[in-house]
Structure 1
Amino acid sequence: MTSQNQATLAVSTVIFALRPDEASGLMTLWLPLVRRIREPHLGQWALPGGWLPGDEELAAAASRTLRETTGLTPKYLEQLYTFGDLGRSPGTRVVSIVYWALVQSDEAALAAVGENVQWFPADRLPELAFDHNRIVDYALWRLRTKVEYARIAHAFLGETFTLAQLRDVHEAVLQKPLDPANFRRTVEASGTVVDTGQHLAGARHRPPRLYRYNDSSRLADQGPLGPSIG
């Protein structure tokens, strides 16, 4: 067993997807959790993750453990924070490099759901193993902060979308209604979206315009190091 004077490295991932709330039917944030099959915290739900091998890059390890536990391979994967408080894991000090991922609804439907993998509403989680409730709270704060100034909502949408669909994402993430006219003015003035000149097929009456994100605007602010994955 590793002593408290040594640290073991692990990776975990918080994955957000938009799914309808079972009670209201409104789109809300959900995330998949895995049931622990060994001590400590046997039987409790936890974030997908695993130990970090000495010969594997961080992002590659996060992607691998996510794929092995849930079957998900998200396009958007970004390093969130490093959690290493003393006592967060009994018997040994574990430092977790945590990533967060955003997936579209059709991607989320591909998750390997079963007895030990289930989706939970992000704001109504059970008591999780270790400090994973705190990690999810931090990820929610980061997402809600970034959605107001970065093009991160793109990760929940297809290549083209209506402004109403984009507003739905913002409302689901921020948990509050947004005035449609003000939202349209703000988005159009930001320069982050481009009118494709096309309209939503199959819509009745006046079909809404389809937009895409401006390719010159990055999906996330990665800083001078660039994106963590290709």
Structure 2
Amino acid sequence: MNLSGKVALVTGAAQGLGKAFSESLLSQGAKVCLADVKVQQGKTTAAEFQKTFGNDSAFFEKCDVSIADDVTNVFKKVKSKYGQIDILVNNAGIANETHWRKMVDINLVSVIQGTQLGIEYMSKEYGGNGGVIINVSSSAGLVPVFITPVYCAVKFGVVGFTRSVAVNPRNRSTSGIRFCCLCPAFTDTDIIKFKKDSGINMKYAPKILKSVGINK
């Protein structure tokens, strides 16, 4: 896919994997909306990218993906500014077993809403150009991880949802959209910095991280 002139929307883009995804897209000629709940970090990241890739290359939009209206609004803002959406990366996520309902909303419900809005804005059937929707799951969406059972459940959900949408005959034949699911292993970002109130058993976390090469 030639990314020159394409427009991407990336959630959770202020830092970590979302920032890395955005930088890669920008380096290949795409324009990117950086959506995140972290306002100051998001603005800093956007300014950094604008300095490197040009003032019109990227912009930040505050978005709490657990709030349906925020998600809808960011799609409207991207369409208004750039006229199209070609790439959607549903990346925002947290790891917190204590506040598990919030984690379900952020890690799974927002992916479902984002994908549905992506189809609405991108599908050739509705006047879009087609494109690609990438939902970010985790290796925890493929195998059990006993210290994070709810996180595992929602990431399994992202995998199952994405695969199911991808094989929908209507999507395959008329939308012009490809659906992908990424399942990264443990990555050294803020999400892996287990906090005391996360509900994750800290006794086992260091051993698991060390086993995959992250020394915490």
Structure 1-normalised TM-score?
0.28
Greater Rg by CA: 1
TM-score by length of 2: 0.30
Higher relative contact order (CA 8 A, sep 6+): 1
More helix by share: 2
